[in-house]
Structure 1
Amino acid sequence: MNASPVGGKVATLIASMDWADSPLPGPDAWPQSLRTAVDIVTHSPMPMLLLWGTQLCQLYNDAFALLVGSNHPRALGQPVDSIWPELKPFTDPIYAAVLQGEVRTFNEKDFNLPREDHWAKVWLDLTYSPIRDENERVAGILVTAIEANERREVSAVGKRAEQELRDSEAHFRMAIELSPAVHWTAEANGRTDGESQTERWRQLTGMHSLRPDDDWAQLVHPDDHLPTLDAWQLAVSTGRPYDAEYRLRMADGSYHWMHARALPWLDAEGVIRQWFGMTEDVQNRRQVEQALRELNEHLETRVSERTQALAEVNLRLQNEMQERERAEEALRHAQKMEALGQLTGGIAHDFNNMLTGIIGSLDLMQRYIDAGRSSEIKRFSEAAVSSAHRAAGLTHRLLAFSRRQSLDRKRLAPNELVHSLEELFSRTLGEHLQLRLQLAPDVWPVNTDASQLENALLNLIINARDAMPDSGVLTIETANCELDATPEGATLEPVKPGAYVMFRVSDNGSGMSAPVLAKAFDPFFTTKPIGQGTGLGLSMIYGFAQQSGGQVTLQSRVGEGTCVRLYLPRHLEPLGDITEQHASAAPPMAQDGESVLVVEDDPAVRMLVLDVLDELGYAAHSAAEATAALALIEAGLHIDLLVTDVGLPGLNGRQLAEIARQQRPGLKVLFITGYAEKAAERYGFLAEGMDMITKPFSLERLGSKIRDMINLS
């Protein structure tokens, strides 16, 4: 075949056109199937239009150019919808069906077609057929258009129309030959009439022909026989299109999957005159589909197996995690018991020493009293009181370490506090050590418990003193600082970024090794000889700093000294006047008619408080628990102050105070407590007109606190 199509003026125009502005490539780039189709079209005397490719670009012959009219030659190579947009509602469903392999036929369809200077109505017989490429895919549409105007005129031109029709049918058959499917016909009752493509049938099945008297249904696979035959009979009886897939026996006895389709040819009354059908071998497609199904099943099996394996691994990991958790829990329990043993051992050691002093002194006092030697018991009472105070100090340090100590927070100026303790620090250090103060000007105020801060600084002074037995310099510094991260040398607990006041206590003493430094904050850990240290100093400072919202850091090297930094949050409210309150040596006496209600479940403590009140001249009333106290209040007992323990059986002291204040608004309340977790933060526990005193306390301090509470306005 020549490089460019031939056959008339349109063919010459196609060969000479510039295809740059067309979606269709030039003739040199056409596939063989397109060249064949164009050759058939251009040699046909009947109007034929070829629509090729996904955009259905137009190629037609000289006869069809007359129908195109004024749209020729610009229609060549252009998509059909760009030239005939007004026909889309009619042609779109036709194109969609033919591109799926179907054939559409329309008789005497009228169109308004453009001419050189006018539009003319033209009657056409149209046939739309699929054109397949070398890969047996539908690549285009062949449109045969026969003018029916002459049929509607005189019969003299009938023979010419019939000849054109025969020519059209001939060319249509040539177009059909491009299709890989077998085209066949059947009578109206569904019986095949033998009109089929013999050569194509032989290529498809290996059989020479399908004779009219052959029962094609007998060639269908037994498993597909009834469904296929039922579908064909349904189409014949209803006139609906036939569409089925089934396995057909080949000449060699094997079976191939076939796809058969058929359309009825109806007369003017809608009666079926004949069936036109096509049968296509779809064995390759079915094999691909089967392979895909098998692959999918294989993948599903692999996925299922992999999922099962992952489930088993997950179960094994869960079991290992459970075993690890049990081992970790056992380790934590062992560590907890070890820590508890160390803690209880340290407490038992110190408390046994203190209790020995208390019990022994009281026992000797009792013997001396029985022997009438009461004048000699003072030294034993002093020893008992000293041991008791030491025991009280130990409990305070334990609570401070655990952050359960009740903090009596007040605004204070750091520099003024350090200056007020300078003489005490100097005496503690001794004459062989030098004290230096480096206090920055305008240090921010802090809001903390002054006594706890004093104890923390004093503990650091004592530690520094013991680290410099011969000589040395101890420096106390204060400074404002902004922390944006946890400072170096801090414990594991982080500090919030913000403004802090730093207290720095440093010495040039013996220092600590890395193992000692790692345990420095542990309770009861000490490097001092037995009896010279409890091991609670640094742990108390650590607990106090954490409870205050701050941090403590520790840095030390052997032979170079130690540096401890205590960070307390800046108090942003204005700093008021700081006044020192000193308890008088003797508590003030009660005024006439003042009455106090004491609620305490411990008989010994209750007795002591009542004796103090009695000595000071108060009218004292007592109750062992909250219910009895409320009964006295409801009975109308006059009281100026409610003194109650926090940890009462039943209703606690805080609940008692709330109920009592509902009946006596403005009633002043003084809480006494040895330890209460919720009372550790005073300002989250106390309301207006309330205060707290911590056990153990001196009787003088209790008397002064009672007087201060009653005097509150």
Structure 2
Amino acid sequence: MRVATIPNSDTSALVYAPIGRDAEIAVSLLKEAGVAATAVSDIASFVAKLSDDIAFAVVTEEAFRSADLRGFSAWIEAQPSWSDLPFVILTNRGGGPERNPAAARLSEVLGNVSFIERPFHPTTFISVARSAMRGRRRQFDARARIEALDEGERRLQTALSAGRLGAWEFDLATGELITSTTFRSIFGRNATEEFSYTDLLATIHPEDVDRMQLAVRTTIETGADYAIEYRTIWSDGSVHWAEIRAQLYRDREGKAIKLVGVSADITARLKAEEHQRQLNEVLEERVAERTRKLEETHARMMAEVNQRESAEQQLRQAQKMEAIGQLTGGVAHDFNNLLMAVLGNLELLRKHVGEDNKAVRLIDGAQQGAKRGASLTQRLLAFSRKQDLRIDPVDMRALIMGMEDLLKRSVGANVVIETHVPPHLPLVSADANQIELALLNLVVNARDAMPDGGEIRIGLDEVHQSRPEGELAAGHYVVLSVVDQGQGMDSETLRKAVEPFFSTKELGKGTGLGLSMIHGLASQLKGDLKLTSELQRGTKAELWIPVSTSGAATETGVIDMPIEIAQKAKGPKRILLVDDDALIAMSSADMLTDLGHDVVEAYSGNEALQRLGDGSEFDLLITDYSMPGMTGGELAIAVRDIVPDLPILIASGYAELPPGVNLDVARLGKPYTQDQLARELDRLFADRI
């Protein structure tokens, strides 16, 4: 008779029925039901074919009576935690487990057993097989989830190692402290030493113990996140600083059960901060000494002195801003590299989670957070004048007119925007996207300065600067102005307005990077940002942008390449990827491999040159710029001598390569997405056709 097909039968069953036609009948019924099945003739073959991928086993009761089951029992015991292989035992009539002690003992040995008394109806057999298959598929699902969790754990450990973070967990009920190797090293312990919570308290500096324990109690009582810095004393007597962060976990009844967190050794950072503080004190002492001498001279030369004081103040401010700019630029560059690895891995992971809605939601949340971090680093790079800009001739009048709707939606109904732009203005040399962002920032700042509403005036004007003034060289400029009727700023606030992270807004409503970003953008464009303001009389912001020496404005948009060229540009390529940071190299290599390319990794310029010098052929070289020993620019120059026609793509978080590095290579700003990387590769290979 015809039996129903078992759904999703993409795995096989194993049949061991050495006597009679039971094996032949069972295999035939399973095959007709859509289940692949293999029959074996002896216990050794049966054990040899057992594996984690077997769906279930069909065995006759008598097959086990006189067989040596030691190897079989060992396999049963050695199953992984997720596995409990289903067995379908064919017994004789009246030989079920209720009346057959031998059959009952099989249940004890095999565990997951279903009995069918012979002779059996095919429908009954298939029904039992279907149940076994469903149960096994649930086990396979559990295996997949366990493997996914293991992979997530490995990625977490990689991230913790890359950030030199030590993981720990403290059980509030038992007082047990579980720590990673990195965590122990932060407290001067090696991986094999015992390190209990009592040991932890013993390493903390006596002056910091009470403060640490109070912070722990506060977290347990209030649920607030735990964050503290304190000194630790190692066994050699040296003093170090540790930063500890944690969150409180509760059970379903809301009872606090454990603290879970990470730690970092911040000794080097605090020493650097102390060194910087001392340098600042020395600088302040020198400035104070210079000021004292100037004041002594003031009585004799009241008039060339006023000018000197002004020059000294500008110099100090410029030095301060330059120092902060270098610091923030370096931090932003390093953070860009970390975000590169995070965003790349999340983007690839997103493709492989399938329909797991929770995983998709978690990945999307992580991507949004990482992208906000990338946006923050772009603002830091803008302030430090190291932002990656695309300079083109820009029509400021068209830019403002095109943003009118966006600006009006951004300020709300109680703020009126008035735009005054001349019909004819010269083009400016700028990055249109960054100018749009700067204008939006200025308008939003103006709106926030008028909580009760008011008018914002946006204007354009052409100005000729006859002589150098401050950061402005002599020449022609277009000035974009934004004027509000808001609260205004006093002189001290106005002086600090463009400093990074300075904000008059309440906590959580501003990063303090908006004006500093615009100031950095203006400096990169060889222009200036000028602010004038009075309390209760509003603020005027002027962005001075140099007039372009080029011709027509460049239209933005993607240029479609001919179909024939696009098809030739597609297809797998052999790519040499060079980055001294293994974490970033791994992320970029995964993105390229996912695009179908063959990737060879090198972790230094010298290693890359060895790859190219041994006769290996590549279609493209992708290299980071900032690498020890040999920079990406130096590598590109050396590669030109070996393979003159090899396309080269330099990835960097900085806007400009150092002076003297004049290379005909493609550029890609960090962090980049897989789509951005793919588009750049398409353009490069299309250009080679």
TM-score by length of structure 2 reads: 0.47
Between 1 and 2, higher relative CO (CA 8 Å, sep ≥ 6) is seen in 2
